[in-house]
């Protein structure tokens, strides 16, 4: 089925470990973004990309890296996990970042101990 695929769905990390959250879409959307969801905070933008080779920071980028080598993939890297990064992470894509029509992945629940 067409859509946004996030892997893994669940992950437990130890403080200081690194990992990559994967995000892939098959809708040929130019715009992709990563959000984190924390209780009482809504969804906050981490990084976004307007096309292959172009990325930019969102509201809460510290501790995360992204790259966009292809239109389909937009991985999120945690360089050195911290307990403050315990959250649910959502990847989203859209053909038009203003008009919306955002498609969200099913989320990755990350716990850092």
Report the SS3 class of residue 83: helix
CB of 53 to other proteins, least distance (A): 14
**Residue 62 near other proteins by CB under 8 A:** no
Near other proteins in 72-111, by CB under 8 A: 88, 90, 92, 97-102, 104, 106-107
Q: How far apart are CA 97 and CA 50, in angstroms?
A: 8
The DSSP-derived string for 52-70 is TTEEEE-SS-TTEEE--SS
**Residue 2 near other proteins by CB under 8 A:** no
Q: Which of 17, 19, 44, 75 binds other proteins (CB under 8 A)?
A: 44
């Amino acid at each position: 089925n067409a859509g946004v695929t996030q892997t893994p769905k669940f992950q437990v990390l130890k403080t200081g470990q690194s990992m990559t959250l994967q995000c892939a879409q098959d809708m040929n959307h130019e715009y992709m973004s990563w959000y984190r969801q924390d209780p009482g905070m809504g969804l906050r933008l981490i990084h976004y990309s307007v096309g292959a080779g172009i990325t930019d920071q969102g509201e809460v980028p510290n501790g995360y890296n992204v790259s966009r080598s292809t239109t389909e993939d937009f991985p999120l890297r945690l360089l050195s996990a911290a307990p403050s990064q315990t959250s649910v992470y959502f990847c989203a894509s859209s053909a038009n970042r203003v008009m919306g029509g955002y498609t969200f992945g099913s989320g990755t629940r990350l716990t850092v101990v």
